Each structure stands twice: as structure tokens, then as C-alpha cells.
Structure 1
Amino acid sequence: MAMYAALLRGINVSGHRRVPMAALRTLLTELGHGDVRTYLQSGNAVFSSPSDDEERLAAELERAIDKRFGFSVPCLVRDGAYLAAVAAACPFPAAELEGRQLHVTYFGQPVDAERFDRIEAADHLPEEFRLGDRALYLYTPDGLGRSRLADALSRPSLAPGVIATSRNWNTVLKLVEMTAPARPADHGADA
């Protein structure tokens, strides 16, 4: 069974589109998933499933949320290996930065790098971004709340019709940890 993270976009923001995490855990369990856990209130859940079809898992979760809560929530589902690979490929010195300074935007599909050519990188320094595998890495030294580059990158015209959801680096690492394969117990002698 593979471990997955479900990344829900735009829930529990300013009291809108409320999805309580306990209800999300129940919903994932009712869908037949195991090892269900949530992280924070912003739409992060992990679960195990024998399926290897991330698109199908995401579509099932989207339909179940719409039926249960009465509103649509775009969802991305990614396996633990992908999440670990995205974290390992970070082009910025993550270990030297605060979690609020580094973000990953996960895309529902590959995004053409040429779409981002119209953003003048020099106009946004010291903020920077780099594209990865269905992901965008964003470095914002003063945090996301004041980032002009984040505003420019969030324009729908850059990736029309593509689901995208962002997580700060602390959440990225926590999701990697939560979806990592279980390590065998240490059976060494501790007498």
C-alpha cells in the first residue's frame, strides 16, 4: 500500500468553505483509505491506499467533499515518493531558511516554463522562483504575505485550468515525513 497526501485548495480560509479535519478524516476512511491523518487546518491529509491512480483518488475525494459539504474543493493527491523528490530537488538552501520564507506550489499537471517568461525576475529581487516537476519553488525572504512575486505568480493566466495549491516549507517537510515508508523497528540490544 502506498502512502499519499491529499492537498485541498482553499478551505478553512477566513471561515469560508469549512471542512473540519475530523470530518475529512472520517470521509477518507469512508472512501476505504487507511492510516488516515490530517495536518493543520488548511487541508492536508495523508492516507494509505492500494490504488496507484492519483488522479482517480483526487476525483473521488473531490466528489465526496462536494456531496458531504455542498461545495467544490480542488484536490491534488501525491504519493510520498513524489513529495520526497520535490523536497530533495529544492533549488534554494532550505536548511538555511525559515519555513515561512520558502514555499512550494504543487500543480495538477506539468506547466510550460515559457508561461512564466513574462515575469521579470529582476523586478522582484530578492524574491525568486524556480520550476520543478509539477511544482514551483518560491523564495520570499519577508514571507508570503508581502510578496509581490507571489501575487504575480498566482495570476490564472500563467497556468489556465491547472489546479495549484501552495504549502510553506515546514508543511512540505511534515508531509514528506508523514508519507514516508515505515522503517522496521530497531531490534538492536539496548541492555
Structure 2
Amino acid sequence: MTRYVALLRAVNLGSHKKVSMADLRGLLVGLGYADVRTYLQSGNAVFTAAETRPERVAASVEERLAAELGLTTEVILRTAEELRDVVERNPLEVDDPAKSTVWFLAEPPRQDWLSGFDLGRFAPEEMRAGEREIYLRLPNGIGRAKLPVALGRRLKVTATMRNWNTVTSLLSLAE
């Protein structure tokens, strides 16, 4: 059995892609997943599945979201162990957890995706790339940040962002 953390991309932001967490829990239970829990209202779920291939689990959840709830979105998965590694490998100081974020990528970006990009232009904002995560420190707040917008234009990979409070809370739920 594998413990998964599912991050639904761009749900419950504004008036589009709405899904209740009760509906999400019911959908996951209906797929045969156990010990299902959700966190906040932004498409975060933790569950246990017999399937060990994350790509199959993500595809199943995406298909069922579309079929049962009419919601088309990407699901990015990490195992509990992978999420623990994300937390332990954070190369940036977390002085304010609400202003430190992780972008979870569906797949690794192209190796040259940052070629010629001047991170210094965005100081005091900071970024460090992992294999399938991008760590950001945004001292002036997420809403005012310029770096995520500029990086998003270059990235060309499906991703979803969570603040550090959410990341560590999801890890606690997963473990």
C-alpha cells in the first residue's frame, strides 16, 4: 500500500473549477482508496492506494473528477516519502511559511529551462530548483511576487503551488 498526497491544480480559485472537499473525499473512496483526508478547500487530499504507479492513480482521479463532477484539472501526486524529501531538501530559509512556497511539477522541466534567465532581477525573491519541485521565497508576499509569473512563462510543465504551511501540514496528514 502506498500513501499518496494529491494536489489538484487550480481548483477553488475564484469562481471556476469548484469542488467541495466532501465530494473529493467521496470520489477517492469510490475509487477504492483508504484513509482519505482532505486539507483546506484548495484541492489537497491524502489517501492510501494499492496501486504503486502514481501515473495510474493520477489518471484515475482525473478521469473520475471529469466523469462525476465535471471538473477537468490535473492531479499532481507525491508519495508521503517524496513529500518528506521535499520538506527535508528545501534549500531556502523559511522565515515566513506563508511567503515560502513549493511548485510541484508533474514532470522534470527541460534541462535548459533557466538558460539565460537572470534570477537577480527579482531580488529579494529567491528560487531554487529541485528535480520535480521549485522552491520559492517571496518576502513581499505571493500576490505581489513577480518571479513566479516570469518562471511560469518559461517552465512549460504542468505545476501547482502550495505555501510552506500547506506543504508541512500535508506531510503531517500523510505520515
Give the TM-score range, shorter chain. Answer: over 0.9
> Which has more radius of gyration?
1
1:35-184 equivalent positions in 2, closer than 5 A? 35-94=35-94, 97-155=95-153, 158-160=154-156, 162-180=157-175
| C-alpha RMSD of matched pairs (Å) | 1.1
Which consecutive residues of structure 2, in runs of 5 or more, have no partner in the other structure? none
Percent of pairs identical after alignment? 39
Distance in 2 (alpha carbons) for counterparts of 1:40 and 1:71:
18
Greater shift after overlay, 24-33 or 139-148?
A: 139-148
* Aligned CA distance change for structure 1 residues 149 and 29 (closer, same or farther; 3 Å): same
| Contact persistence 1:124–1:149 (CA under 8 A) | yes
Distance in 1 (alpha carbons) for counterparts of 2:23 and 2:15:
16
Distance in 1 (alpha carbons) for counterparts of 2:40 and 2:116:
35
What amino acid maps onto 1:128 in structure 2? E
Q: TM-score, normalised on structure 1? A: 0.88
Q: Which runs of 4+ in 1 moved over 3 A?
A: none
Distance in 1 (alpha carbons) for counterparts of 2:116 and 2:67:
39
Distance in 2 (alpha carbons) for counterparts of 1:107 and 1:18:
22
Distance in 1 (alpha carbons) for counterparts of 2:161 and 2:117:
19
What amino acid maps onto 1:159 in structure 2? L
Deviations along 1:138-169, one digit per CA (max 9) or x if unpaired, are 110011100011111121xx232x22001000
